[in-house]
Amino acid sequence: MSNLKVTLYKELELKISTQVEGISFDPLIFKYLDLGGRYQEDIHICFEHAYETHAGIKFPVGFLSPHGLKFNLRWDRRSSYSLILEKGTYHLAHHGEPIFPVEFLDRPEYYAEKTSDGTNMANIAVYAREGALAVAYSNECALKEKDHDCKFCNINATKDTYGDVEGIGWKYPKQVGETVAAAYKNGARHLTITGGFVAERREVEYYLDVADAIKEHTGLEDFNGTACVGAPHDLSIIDKYKEAGYRTIATNIEIWDKNIFKALCPGKELQCGGWEHWVKALEYEVEVFGRGRVRSNIVAGLEPKDSTLEGVEYLASKGVIATATSWNPNPGSALEGHRSPEPAWHYDLFKKIAAIYRKYGFTYEQIYDCTANPTSIYQDIYRIEDERLPVFKAKVA
Ligand code: SF4
């Protein structure tokens, strides 16, 4: 392995550690940062990822490591990792000792624009980096009404904390169409439509209207969209998303172990047909959308690693790209105060998942097209192995 790849893997390990353990900082250090001007601010679309809430105080969305990996910023004042400001330069530090200087992520141009009804486009579609957008049409989940929301999820608490302060609410199809058109003009090329469940599962009507609005405003028939949806009772509804023009679809199973799923996802179990139905829906989605065009996420750390890997492998064998995101026990979720497994546990899991993707022939582009987070660890592994990062070109030049 080249020295550059060894260095990148070291940075990747750090990225995982700071995702799992968070980063401590005094919010006042951002006082002189051009946040919301040159640099992209964090906007809450579905979940608060910081360990504590910080309503009214803006944080940068993330930063670049010296060799070009994108780190997100998860605030946790208990962490041994920190961001410090020394002589005008921000550094990632460990136990107070600087590791490397960081460069915060640029703000996309469309964040400064407004829709025709005067809404900030930044509040309609969040820029997830690498040309990918995320639209959370609804910032709440109707499963809460019966106390059936997933135990690791803080979507409703996040809405309660930030909805008014950040001006985040329901997004209308025209607003989404205009925002996507503006972002695509600036180079964006993928979007995910997601959100919590709405009452009576009326999501499909909304997704179809949004697809029409995006096509109208961008002029694109294939706008490279992912519809992130719950498993519908009537599986034929899945055909409608495909007909509407979504290139990919995502249905998140969250947990592979059936019994843990039952305990931690009571709404998906009691109101949406249960674990077997979710798996059936994913298999049907592959029939409609094709292999490598369906995604399902598992929250990593809620069940034994072998169970998650069994799920990723089973789903991959059926043509589903099963992703895993490190579980962060966040404020407002029923599991607030619990601990995620250690960073090394997550790193090992991600390496094994990337190997499963290779085994089943999933390409970088397929993973990009069906996931909402283009800077995930397994995509970083592809970027390092296939030498896709700009730093490799710089080396050749
Ligand atoms: S279905 Fe579960 S994970 Fe999704 S928004 Fe609702 S409570 Fe959260």
Each domain of the chain, given as residue ranges in start order, spans: 23-104, 109-393
Domain covering 109-393: architecture: Alpha-Beta Barrel (3.20)
Report the phi/psi class of residue 372: left, alpha or beta, with left for phi > 0 and alpha for psi in -120 to 50: alpha
CA 153 to ligand 1 centroid distance, Å: 6
Pocket test residue of 150, 151, 228, 299 for ligand 1, highest count of atoms within 8 A of CB: 150
Pairing of strands 70-72, 225-228: unpaired
Ligand 1 pocket, residue 149 CB under 6 Å: yes
The ligand 1 atom at the shortest distance from the C-alpha of residue 152 is 3
User: Which residue's alpha carbon is nearest to atom 5 within ligand 1?
Assistant: 196
Ligand 1 pocket, residue 250 CB under 6 Å: no
Pocket test residue of 48, 139, 141 for ligand 1, highest count of atoms within 8 A of CB: 141
| Helix-helix angle 377-385:343-359, to 10 degrees | 60
Integer Cα distance of 154 and 160 in angstroms: 10
Q: Residue 230 has which token pair? A: 């719950």
Ligand 1 pocket, residue 367 CB under 6 Å: no
State the pLDDT at residue 197: 85
Integer Cα distance of 47 and 360 in angstroms: 31
State the pLDDT at residue 203: 85
If we measure between CA atoms, which residue out of 339, 346, 317 comes closest to residue 14? 346
For residue 10, give every residue at least 6 positions away whose Cβ sits within 8 Å of its Cβ, in sequence order, or none: none
If we measure between CA atoms, which residue out of 111, 103, 42, 27 comes closest to residue 70? 103
Positions of the chain with pLDDT under 50: 397
Ligand 1 pocket, residue 150 CB under 6 Å: yes
Report the largest interatomic distance among the alpha carbons of the chain, rounded to a whole angstrom.
60
If you average pLDDT over every residue of the chain, what do you get? 94
Q: Residue 200 has which token pair? A: 């009576």
State the pLDDT at residue 200: 65
Pocket test residue of 137, 143, 145, 270 for ligand 1, highest count of atoms within 8 A of CB: 143
The ligand 1 atom at the shortest distance from the C-alpha of residue 254 is 3
CA 282 to ligand 1 centroid distance, Å: 17
Pocket test residue of 155, 160, 203, 262 for ligand 1, highest count of atoms within 8 A of CB: 155
- pTM higher than the cut 0.85: yes
User: Which residue's alpha carbon is nearest to atom 8 within ligand 1?
Assistant: 153
Integer Cα distance of 390 and 77 in angstroms: 33
State the pLDDT at residue 397: 45
CA 172 to ligand 1 centroid distance, Å: 21
